[in-house]
């Protein structure tokens, strides 16, 4: 009887989740797979080696790591600061909270275009950000089609803007759930705000912070659509591709038709994410109190 | 005596100083928080502003103005006539409604089975589902692409919808919610001879309505913003969703330089979600903080 | 250090947007707490006693009024400069720190020349731990301890800086009945040994009466009565205090004073001596003849007496060992929960349970007369 209720879910999960999981492993070891004729020459690790030696993949790997290493600490730290500020006020608090969460629900492709417009330097205007930079005595840079570091910068800024609402929401509710009596005790003893933060607040919300870091890492490794929004679909030629982008490009589009390479790249990504998550968990087990 | 008075005076001075530093701290906090608010809102303001500037006046402003000198709606007319934005909207609405409705049926049935029906292998199956939660979408999307292509379902709604009508996470969320409904209600209904399916519809769903509404809203947002799968599975404009539409507008709609028209399209596809958010922001935020992650 | 409160008032703005009425949590407190005493702030929940404690501690700022510790005014001082130690109802022990870290935490806040070395901190922590007898638990985390032990840690943490005043918010409410008895003795002992002026808040009158040197009975933000526990019990200033103190509760009847006699129903239950003056709180003499009053009789104020004036319908007799409790009914008894009259008499007395009625005479010093309108005590004997 129970299995009857489960039937639709099992059917869909079987076809679109379990079978693909096995299939992706098979794809990744089928050498010289031809998508059109569906033939392959044998099994081996050639696909992995091809992907790892592909300059586009290496570029994507580098970009992805830069995004991860910059946006995860920056967004988590900034979210913590903002949440601390939020929890210290009472007037307008819920208004700010709601406002800060707005980017979470918006279409990142759409808002990405606005960021592009703001940062882009064109023939007829330097764009708002460049005008600002000039006003402070700097030189205008094309953040969208210009030098690598500028493109990385705007990418990180946009990524932080996109991921931070979730972190602020989670951190504010974690801060709110810390029993106020702890702060009262500390106040009676005249504890400085810095000591309260380090000795009470941080340990009390450490598990939440680690949760955010772990999910942040996982999310940042899967970066893709934010980059499309800023730099267009041809990420390889912009030099801004990510691992996920590489997977999709291998599958479809101008350079597509290579599910084997895509599978190998996806599995490499999975291995990286898996390893880093395990490392994170090990660190958090040591650091998280309680 | 003198010392006591003196001590009191210096103390009251320190008290006054402390009050002052506290109010300064508070002002700084508000200033910084407002600054972040501006950073969050500015892109929205800019898209609105740019969308009502005429093509000529936008391109004529080397230093962009923070207001529109002669606001116009011509860009919106443009957005809906020179590219099939209306079509994209319709597609997205169909996709969103059908996907969400199908998913709700699938997940309610299985959450109910997990929560209330005692069948062989239930706990093993649930453990298996939990394990599936950890599988990233990127890993299975490759085969799904091949499957849908081989089934000749590219550029069809079925192909768009089918892979996303189950969510292990939402099954889990709903199952937890169903389990909080006291078992006695179920037993009482059984004594009265209520069938399982009737009990589910008449009792479980109404009681769990808040959670179900939250799941629906989150799924609608997810559908409205979905980009990767539709991009893989559609190359016919007639099946584009808004995200793909906006991307193709960016690449070749309006001519690349017509930024105001592009912004009008961006505003048009952002507005439904912003309205949804304004109405349901409490539910959305509560739902997300209960463990939803984006995507 | 004595504590003096002058016209202390705390008004909270309304939280409810529709109902703008303010909440007066503490209303015009005037009180002096003598040095080195253990004082119980007592009242039903929501009467403002915890707010009063927070005002003394400095966690809340008073709306009006002043607070003095000794001769020094502390009204505007933040908590840390007042030299108070506070123990919270749920103890608020930091879950991620060991007992030792919890106790040394306040010492780590000291700055400048007051700063202590690690060894000094440790020594002080052990001293405080020894006082509350938990010196062998220093390496534990709070969750590995029983409620009573956690309570001791919280007290040790509050004492480690040698505060001038120790404040305890509902210190026993989170403990089970047996531990509660034990811990209240413990608090009494610690207070005696340290000699620190200690104020604690409780809603349990028995708890307050058993260990306090002085109790302060509160109702709706106002002080009702201040005094030694026995004094307050023996001469409550109003009906509220009389009802609030004592288990079983005082029995309240409707009565009337007619020419020198106190009547319950038609029976004259007590003579009111000629030299007695009927007066209000301010000792203003009032006209008493024919006045409607409430008569409060303590359970131990009944004497079994077949010829006694107060005759009640006998319901049952409850045996309590040393005493027996006679439960009976009287039409003049007031309030839903006291329709039955409960009287405690020595078990040596025999009550004939076959009879329908039981008669008592009353002990004058256990009988209190309150004005029906103001509910103030109305009976003063001439001195």
Residue C284, pLDDT > 70, answer no
- Residue B193's pLDDT is 76
- Residue B6's pLDDT is 47
* A108, two tokens: 């990142």
Q: What is the mean pLDDT of chain C?
A: 84
**Nearest 10 degrees: CA dihedral of B192, B198, B199, B205?**
-150
Preferred mutation among C53, C101, C105, C110 to probe A, highest tally of A CBs within 10 A: C105
* B273, two tokens: 């979600």
Cβ atoms < 10 Å from Cβ of C376: 16
In terms of domains, do B100 and B181 share one? Answer: yes
Residue C90, pLDDT > 50, answer yes
Residue A271 in contact with partner chain B when CB distance is under 8 A:
no
Query: Is B33 close to A225, i.e. CB distance below 8 A?
Result: no
Residue B4, pLDDT > 50, answer no
How large is the ipTM? Answer: 0.89
Q: A210 to chain C nearest CA, in Å?
A: 16
Residue B5, pLDDT > 50, answer no
Query: Is B119 close to A115, i.e. CB distance below 8 A?
Result: no
Confidence grade of residue B216 (pLDDT, cut at 50, 70, 90): very high
Query: Is B15 close to C73, i.e. CB distance below 8 A?
Result: no
Residue of A nearest to B220 (CA): A105
Contact between residue A158 and residue A70 where contact means Cβ atoms under 8 Å apart: no
* Domain-embedded: residue B67: no
Inter-helix orientation angle A202-221/A148-176, to 10°: 140
Query: Is C77 close to B4, i.e. CB distance below 8 A?
Result: no
Residue A88 in contact with partner chain B when CB distance is under 8 A:
yes
Contact between residue C101 and residue C138 where contact means Cβ atoms under 8 Å apart: no
Q: Which residues of A touch B112 (CB under 8 A)?
A: 5
Residues C153-178, mean pLDDT to the nearest whole number = 88
Residue of A nearest to B252 (CA): A232
Q: Which residues of C touch B11 (CB under 8 A)?
A: 77, 81
Query: Is A184 close to C59, i.e. CB distance below 8 A?
Result: yes
Contact between residue A2 and residue B119 where contact means Cβ atoms under 8 Å apart: yes
Confidence grade of residue C81 (pLDDT, cut at 50, 70, 90): confident
Q: Which residues of A touch B225 (CB under 8 A)?
A: 106-109
Confidence grade of residue C200 (pLDDT, cut at 50, 70, 90): very high
In terms of domains, do B83 and B210 share one? Answer: yes
- Residue B3's pLDDT is 44
Query: What residues pair up with C29 in beta bridges, in sequence order?
Result: C8
Query: Is A6 close to B44, i.e. CB distance below 8 A?
Result: no
In terms of domains, do B42 and B83 share one? Answer: no
Per-residue pLDDT tens for C318-353? Answer: 888 888 888 888 877 775 455 567 888 877 777 777
What total number of domains does chain B contain? 2
Chains A, C: CB contacts under 8 A, how many? 59
Q: Which residues of C touch B12 (CB under 8 A)?
A: 76
Q: A78 to chain B nearest CA, in Å?
A: 10
Q: Which residues of C touch A186 (CB under 8 A)?
A: 105
Q: What is the b/e burial string over B232-247, where b = at least 16 CB atoms within 10 angstroms of the residue's CB?
A: bbbeeeebbbbbbbbb
* C27, two tokens: 């209303």
Q: Is A18 helix (H, G, I), strand (E, B) or coil?
A: helix
Residue of B nearest to A125 (CA): B62
Query: Is C78 close to B8, i.e. CB distance below 8 A?
Result: no
- Residue B65's pLDDT is 80
Give φ, ψ of C36 to 5 degrees.
75, 20
Per-residue pLDDT tens for C294-303? Answer: 888 898 888 8
In terms of domains, do B36 and B94 share one? Answer: no
Residue A211 in contact with partner chain B when CB distance is under 8 A:
no
- Residue B203's pLDDT is 85
Confidence grade of residue B255 (pLDDT, cut at 50, 70, 90): low
Q: B176 to chain A nearest CA, in Å?
A: 16
Inter-helix orientation angle B137-150/A259-287, to 10°: 160
**Spatial distance between the Cα atoms of C293 and C289, rounded to a whole number of angstroms:** 11
Give φ, ψ of B208 to 5 degrees.
-90, 15
In terms of domains, do B213 and B81 share one? Answer: yes
First-to-final CA distance of chain A: 43
Residue B248, pLDDT > 90, answer no
Tokens 């499957």: give the residue. Answer: B147
Query: Is A289 close to C96, i.e. CB distance below 8 A?
Result: yes
- Residue C166's pLDDT is 93
State the Cα angle at B258 between B253 and B262, rounded to 5°.
65
- The domains located in chain C, with CATH, are 3-241 (3.40.50.300), 248-380 (no CATH)
Q: B281 to chain C nearest CA, in Å?
A: 21
Domain boundaries, chain A: 39-106+152-287
Q: What is the mean pLDDT of each run of 10 residues along chain A (290 residues)?
A: 87 91 89 73 84 93 95 96 92 92 90 90 79 84 88 94 94 90 87 88 90 91 90 87 92 79 92 91 77
In terms of domains, do B129 and B254 share one? Answer: yes
* Cβ partners under 8 Å of residue A125, min gap 6: B59, B61, B62, B63, B64
- Edge-to-edge strands of the sheet including C222-227? C84-87, C165-169, C197-202, C38-42, C214-219, C222-227
Complete DSSP assignment for B92-156 = HHHHHHHHHHHHHHHHHHHHHHHHH---TTHHHHHHHHHHHTTS-HHHHHHHHHHHHHHTT-TTS
Q: Is C46 helix (H, G, I), strand (E, B) or coil?
A: coil
Contact between residue C294 and residue C256 where contact means Cβ atoms under 8 Å apart: no
CA B129 to chain centre: 24
Percent of chain B at pLDDT exceeding 90: 33
Query: Is B166 close to A106, i.e. CB distance below 8 A?
Result: no
Confidence grade of residue B291 (pLDDT, cut at 50, 70, 90): low
User: Does the global pTM surpass 0.90?
Assistant: no
Residue of A nearest to C80 (CA): A190
**Nearest 10 degrees: CA dihedral of B221, B224, B228, B229?**
100
Query: Is B12 close to C76, i.e. CB distance below 8 A?
Result: yes
Kindly give the residue spans of alpha helices, DSSP state H, lying in C195-296.
205-211, 229-234, 239-244
Environment class of residue A86 by beta-carbon count within 10 Å: exposed (0-12), middle (13-18) or buried (19+)? Answer: buried
Contact between residue A63 and residue A236 where contact means Cβ atoms under 8 Å apart: no
Element (H, E) at B81: helix B74-81
Residues C367-379, mean pLDDT to the nearest whole number = 81
* B255, two tokens: 């001519």
* Domain-embedded: residue B57: no
In terms of domains, do B79 and B186 share one? Answer: yes
Per-residue pLDDT tens for B99-114? Answer: 999 999 999 999 999 9
In terms of domains, do B225 and B280 share one? Answer: yes
Complete DSSP assignment for B246-288 = HHHHHHHSS-TT-HHHHHHHHHHHHHHHHHHHHHHHHHHHHHH
- Residue C114's pLDDT is 78
Residue A36 in contact with partner chain B when CB distance is under 8 A:
no
How long, in residues, is chain A?
290
- Give the residue from C111, C91, C114 showing the smallest Cα distance to C103: C91
Q: B144 to chain C nearest CA, in Å?
A: 47
Query: Is C79 close to A187, i.e. CB distance below 8 A?
Result: yes
Residues C144-161, mean pLDDT to the nearest whole number = 90
Strand ranges (DSSP E) for C272-339? 277-278, 292-297, 302-304, 310-319, 323-329
3-state class percentages of chain C: helix first, strand second, coil last, to nearest 5? 25, 35, 40
Cis peptide before B28 (omega within 30 of 0): no
**Spatial distance between the Cα atoms of C3 and C197, rounded to a whole number of angstroms:** 8
Residues C293-315, mean pLDDT to the nearest whole number = 86
**Spatial distance between the Cα atoms of C83 and C69, rounded to a whole number of angstroms:** 9
Query: Is A184 close to C109, i.e. CB distance below 8 A?
Result: no
- Residue B293's pLDDT is 44
Environment class of residue A157 by beta-carbon count within 10 Å: exposed (0-12), middle (13-18) or buried (19+)? Answer: buried
Q: Is the dihedral of CA C201, C203, C208, C213 positive or negative?
A: positive
Residue B140 in contact with partner chain C when CB distance is under 8 A:
no
Inter-helix orientation angle C147-159/C118-131, to 10°: 130
Q: How far is CA C50 from CA B286, C219, C221, in A?
A: 32, 12, 10
User: Which structural domain, as residue segments, surrounds residue B9?
Assistant: 2-51
Residue B145 in contact with partner chain A when CB distance is under 8 A:
yes
Per-residue pLDDT tens for C109-129? Answer: 887 777 888 888 899 999 999
CATH code assigned at B223:
1.10.3720.10
**Spatial distance between the Cα atoms of A260 and A28, rounded to a whole number of angstroms:** 5
* Domain-embedded: residue B138: yes
Give φ, ψ of C346 to 5 degrees.
-60, 145
Spell out the CATH class of A39-106+152-287: mainly alpha
Complete DSSP assignment for A208-245 = HHHHHHHHHHHHHHT--HHHHHHH-S-HHHHT---HHH
Residue A3 in contact with partner chain B when CB distance is under 8 A:
yes
In terms of domains, do B41 and B85 share one? Answer: no
- Residue C305's pLDDT is 83
Residues B232-246, mean pLDDT to the nearest whole number = 88
Tokens 């590995």: give the residue. Answer: C144
Confidence grade of residue B11 (pLDDT, cut at 50, 70, 90): low
């Amino acid at each position: 009887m129970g299995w009857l209720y489960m039937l639709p879910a099992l059917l869909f999960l079987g076809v679109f989740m379990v079978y693909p999981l096995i299939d992706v492993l098979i794809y990744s070891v089928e050498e010289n797979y031809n998508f059109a004729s569906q033939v392959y020459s044998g099994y081996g690790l050639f696909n992995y080696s091809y992907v790892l030696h592909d300059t586009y993949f290496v570029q994507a790997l580098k970009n992805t790591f830069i995004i991860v290493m910059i946006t995860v600490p920056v967004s988590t730290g900034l979210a913590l600061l903002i949440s601390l500020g939020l929890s210290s006020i009472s007037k307008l608090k819920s208004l700010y909270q709601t406002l800060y969460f707005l980017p979470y629900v918006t279409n990142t492709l759409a808002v990405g275009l606005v960021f592009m417009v703001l940062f882009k330097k064109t023939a007829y205007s330097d764009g708002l950000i460049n005008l600002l930079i000039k006003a402070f005595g700097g030189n205008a840079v094309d953040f969208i089609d210009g030098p690598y570091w500028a493109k990385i910068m705007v990418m990180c800024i946009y990524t932080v803007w996109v991921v931070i609402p979730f972190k602020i929401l989670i951190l504010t509710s974690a801060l709110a759930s810390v029993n106020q009596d702890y702060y009262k005790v500390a106040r009676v003893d005249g504890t400085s705000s810095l000591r309260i933060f380090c000795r009470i607040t941080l340990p009390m919300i450490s598990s939440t912070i680690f949760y955010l870091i772990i999910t942040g890492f996982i999310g940042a490794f899967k970066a893709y659509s934010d980059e499309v929004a800023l730099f267009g679909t041809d990420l390889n030629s912009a030099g801004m591709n990510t691992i996920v982008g590489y997977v999709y490009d291998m599958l479809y589009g101008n350079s597509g038709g290579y599910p084997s390479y895509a599978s190998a790249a996806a599995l490499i990504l999975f291995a990286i994410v898996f390893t880093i998550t395990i490392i994170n968990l090990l660190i958090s087990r040591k650091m998280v109190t309680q | 005596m003198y010392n006591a008075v003196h001590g009191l005076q210096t103390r009251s001075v320190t008290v006054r100083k402390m009050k002052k530093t506290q109010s300064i701290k508070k002002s700084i906090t508000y200033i910084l928080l407002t600054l972040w608010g501006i950073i969050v809102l500015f892109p929205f303001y800019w898209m609105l502003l740019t969308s009502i500037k005429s093509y000529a006046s936008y391109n004529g402003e080397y230093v962009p103005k923070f207001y529109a000198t002669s606001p116009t709606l011509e860009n919106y007319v443009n957005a809906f006539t020179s590219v099939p934005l209306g079509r994209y909207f319709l597609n997205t609405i169909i996709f969103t409604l059908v996907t969400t409705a199908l998913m709700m049926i699938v997940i309610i049935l299985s959450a109910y089975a997990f929560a209330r029906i005692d069948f062989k292998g239930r706990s093993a199956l649930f453990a298996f589902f939990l394990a599936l939660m950890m599988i990233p979408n990127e890993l299975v999307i490759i085969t799904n692409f091949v499957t849908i292509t081989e089934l000749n379902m590219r550029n069809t709604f079925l192909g768009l919808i089918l892979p996303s009508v189950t969510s292990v996470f939402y099954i889990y969320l709903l199952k937890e919610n169903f389990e909080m409904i006291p078992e006695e209600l179920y037993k009482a209904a059984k004594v009265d001879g209520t069938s399982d399916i009737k009990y589910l519809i008449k009792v479980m769903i109404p009681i769990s309505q808040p959670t179900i509404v939250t799941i629906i809203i989150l799924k609608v947002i997810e559908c409205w913003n979905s980009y990767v799968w539709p991009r893989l599975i559609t190359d016919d404009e007639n099946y584009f969703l808004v995200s793909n539409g906006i991307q193709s507008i960016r690449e070749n709609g309006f001519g690349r330089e017509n930024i105001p028209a592009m912004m009008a399209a961006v505003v048009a596809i952002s507005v439904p979600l912003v309205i949804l958010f304004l109405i349901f922001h409490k539910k959305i935020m509560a739902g997300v903080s209960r463990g939803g992650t984006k995507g | 250090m004595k504590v003096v409160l002058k016209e202390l008032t705390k008004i909270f703005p309304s939280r409810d947007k529709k109902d703008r009425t303010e909440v007066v949590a503490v209303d015009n407190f005037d009180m002096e707490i003598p040095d080195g005493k253990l004082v119980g702030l007592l009242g039903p929940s929501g009467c403002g006693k915890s707010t009063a404690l927070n005002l003394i501690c400095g966690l809340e700022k008073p709306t009006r009024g002043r607070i003095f510790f000794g001769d020094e005014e502390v009204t505007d001082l933040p908590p840390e400069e007042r030299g108070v130690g506070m123990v919270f109802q749920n103890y608020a022990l930091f879950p991620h720190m060991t007992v030792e870290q919890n106790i040394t935490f306040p010492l780590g806040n000291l700055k400048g020349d007051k700063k202590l070395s690690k060894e000094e901190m440790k020594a002080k922590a052990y001293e405080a731990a020894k006082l509350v007898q938990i010196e062998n638990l220093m390496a534990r985390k709070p969750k590995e301890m029983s409620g009573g032990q956690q309570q001791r840690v919280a007290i040790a943490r509050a004492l480690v800086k040698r505060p001038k005043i120790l404040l305890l918010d509902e210190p026993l409410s989170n403990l089970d009945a047996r531990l509660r008895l034990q811990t209240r003795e413990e608090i009494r002992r610690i207070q005696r040994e340290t000699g620190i002026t200690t104020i604690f808040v409780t809603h349990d009158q028995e708890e307050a009466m058993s260990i306090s040197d002085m109790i302060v009975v509160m109702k709706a933000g106002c002080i009702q009565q201040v005094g030694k526990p026995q004094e307050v019990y023996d001469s409550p200033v109003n009906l509220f205090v009389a009802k609030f103190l004592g288990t079983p509760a005082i029995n309240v009847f409707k009565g009337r004073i007619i020419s020198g006699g106190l009547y319950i129903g038609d029976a004259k239950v007590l003579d009111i001596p000629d030299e007695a003056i009927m007066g209000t709180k301010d000792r203003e003499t009032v006209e008493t003849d024919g006045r409607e009053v409430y008569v409060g009789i303590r359970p131990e104020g009944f004497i079994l007496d077949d010829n006694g004036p107060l005759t009640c319908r006998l319901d049952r007799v409850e045996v309590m060992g040393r005493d027996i409790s006679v439960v009976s009914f009287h039409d003049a008894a007031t309030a839903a929960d006291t329709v039955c009259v409960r009287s405690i008499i020595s078990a040596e007395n025999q009550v004939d349970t076959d009879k329908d009625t039981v008669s008592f005479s009353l002990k004058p010093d256990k009988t209190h007369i309150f004005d029906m309108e103001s509910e103030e005590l109305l009976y003063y004997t001439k001195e």
